[in-house]
Structure 1
């Protein structure tokens, strides 16, 4: 006799919201409803969980065959008052469900499996580019800091109607709880919290929010709508409610969205790439797929963080590469949706290091909003998850590997999958037939939840090779959060993870190709739109200082050939700025050409100087002279720096520049447009804004005298000027080249190199000056020589530490230590240990000394409580301290990992006692469904009463019965038809149920002639 275990279905009332102006705003959410289905005892493989909420609903697995049971949709009430009504149910095998023609179950996928989750943001065409300049690009190191995404969640009218007003809030919070867990996974490489700070449930159409199947237009409308709601507070009631602003907005819709067209298709979501913290672009739309919507929302939010799809322009997701994960372009069984790829980790780290995510640095406002704490699969059975995806008639239809893929009955009665796993906490069958639960795509023993381990930083890695040989390159060093790595939801490391330093800062030799031009020229051999071009650097694009934008030589268009330039490339083409690009961001470089240095030039352009090596010449040319000709304003000598010339008030006159060879600006009665020009060894900026004063400026020093003149078109209204000149008149005698002392040898042993670099210095104080101050033709060559020729000594070198033997409570780890000789630039050679001096580094050490959390301790099982046959065994389970010396309150231990306290047992075969039954009594109903009972007792072989019969084998003493009703001829006007809406009448025929009055009534047409 088989038993089916029925779980108890309990529920609580949902959260309250206030309806305001056509939208419901969840301001104060109470604890969400908790639905839990648990089976008592240790289920055998043939026992399956059922729901008895509003009738029996679920699956019964018997001897390898799966049977569905559910209440008949229409039945007559057979009770009065408030008594519980008996329900008629239909039981049928899964094998009767139709399958797609010519396909096996494993080949059936959802309609969206070949289409992307979302499309990446596409840049504009070649030609006229419009680039949005973003704010927040401050100088920084690569720092891992805690981030919080304050999220607005909006459910459209269709979603609210589908789930019901009383359930949709708990449903949405459960989804966002899964999203938060995904962003807490250590594979992200950053500590990101996703919190819901605002929840809007739309119950009416919004006049400025237009949602349809067209994903692009819906996204545009939603992003605009949520931005207006956040900034303008157009709804007075919302503003007065005190609800906080949000960093990111998520729309959940029941529209079957499709990118590029207003028809249903397989698109699941859409989001602007890199839009996080940009108020009009930090948003996404997501098609409601049940609890699986969490993976779509996490995927689209990843796009907001600047992530591209795995396998699109990166080395993830391709054949022989790291598998695609959350950012997979398609929903397939091969993708792993519980973790992030290394490519996604690089994208988000670059995005956050750039400063574009700085809006996430603040802590959210404290709200009375309770997020679910249980795993979502404990609260929603697989059938419920299927109904959330495929509608109210769906149910689970394939039961193997549910933790990897949830298979459901679709609206067309096919067994299909969206290639998404069942929610964590969903009941599953382990390999040995025991009931377990799903956790991160695996079926683990029920209640088994690995203990979280927080991550700690490892040691710093070696400095990388310099990115440039001259002109100022960058060397980097990184450390990883792997000592230990955070696992099972543990916290990711916070602090600096990447550091950078300047290297090879000396000027490049004269005639060296510009570094940006060199990078652009590397694309000359790569066809662009089917044609080869010669490329040169183009730096006039606003906001693209560290992107490689190149101009096609001889053509009037430019394009971005690389997302980022090589580290060490100058941010600007201004020779007076030393700032360089690192990791795609412009970083500050001091006047000493050191990354992050705070040294600045004084007014004399002396790096770190005090302004005492020059004097300031300033004045105003206000002489009243005839207009209609050029007139000298001021003569600026060689060596002058920080030159500024401007009108006192706007006029029709024009500034001009002249050298000994003639005019170079606005000469010969020809006025030029504002621009920059290279003159006298420096760059002059000429500005003439409409309605403002005319200006000339240069940082200098100039290597030849310059005369400033003015072309008078009207009376002279005044011209101011100022510049700084060295204190000594003899400029050439003030500066000289010096060979600096030898640098330290690049290697302490073996073959190394040292060098002496020529530096321009002031003779007065011997302070370092700009190279332009000295005569280039007299510069001595840099000197290099081999050094440290003595052989390298043998040294001890430890290998990597092994994994700690324990995760807490004090373990041990070991490593191999070898004796090597490592000449500079050569491969290390392993030597005999006797050649190394001194004691070797330790090969063993203690690790993970932190205290272990309390744990459950199960004591011995009791004896079986039956004298014979089947029974139960019991045992005490205690919550103990890590060292097992103290017994703690059970609340101190993790409830989900508590061992079982009872199990089934079987004693010796019972004596020949057996259950005896009497005859069935009369049916309690004269017409229709009733009940009849009989006597059941236990008797020994001598027919004497006994107590040794197994209780689990006791026959039932009551059963349903059908009282014979008087039949009357059917009215000619009454139509004989099938009234069952679920189309089970064919099953009634198949199982020969027409002989029963109830089925004959609801399946009249099908049962005719039977």
Structure 2
């Protein structure tokens, strides 16, 4: 069992759970990382020893008679077990506080320790349960209930690419969490049913600003480190297609005599994976290959938002459509957002050879839409910021488009709202609501041709398509069909 935190190569909070690398109060539950390590162990042959018959007698089975450990060892005895003979619960601490952190004293010195054991008496007809001092409730059980979901985390990604350098080998992932504390299960009540985490796919904009690493190179980097302690390894690694969701997200290292071996390393969350049973949208999450489903059901544990379900660069690699070789063919009509300065956009596709997979992207086009009115980019931004100023007092209500910077090349495609007191201070609006309209000009005086696509400032080439890979979801424009006029 590893400790929690980055020093143990996991993303669990290092200060909140039982496997924290530091001592402290309030740590009474296991983290999701500990649960993962335990499940991994239970799937190994070594875990079979747990099935061996116990020959030490009932004296070591603290729960065998239906009692909790704190009922067997009171606060003074717990201090003695921790700090030796002569130690006892510190009289300076209220007995009602021991469930959060038990203080022990010996020879005039006082130490903080850990929360008192489950079932420790903390007052008249009270005991410690789940880190709190509660009434014994006459033995009535209480089933657990979930808290509300936390907000989703920032979009995170390992930015792994395939062997050709395209980012179709991974995606971004956001995580939301909830706790089984509304209420906590008490006195043998049922635990909460369901997952304490849910995951949503997202667009990892940060991947366009860092060097690309392929899945193969990532595996080989891991195996090269393993080679330092295992000379039987070659230092190269791979990912497998497997019927096991765990093996499909495991880093496999090549052995000198042939064959592969794993040391328990996993590919990062969001890495594309494939099992024999699930050929669809499957990505590694906590070391298991999980299937993500498209839709708007926020209760789905593995969700692809509706905006990313169709026409996405990440999912177009398997399409085989009858399109002319080497030519861009329109998939949609020209869409114009009725702002100025801006260009129209349309979806197009092509393939490099007759049997190659089709590539989908956007292309600049002539504005054919008839708009009843046209607004400037500043007017569109001000309309949004005016709405926000009604809720956020410090905003003036003025909105505008800022120029790009080296650190934030996409800033020119997000709405910026002015501070109400400091007029040269602006706040960028987060999320899709803060995106400037599709096709908005974001060159801001630069000689290159740049327009906004899904919150990104994209540079276009001589064929009116993006010069670089479009690392974002494509606009959900209406796709032409053969029956469309």
Work out whether the TM-score is over 0.5.
Answer: no
Which structure shows the higher helix fraction?
Answer: 2
Q: TM-score, normalised by structure 1?
A: 0.24
Q: TM-score, normalised by structure 2?
A: 0.42
The structure with more radius of gyration: 1
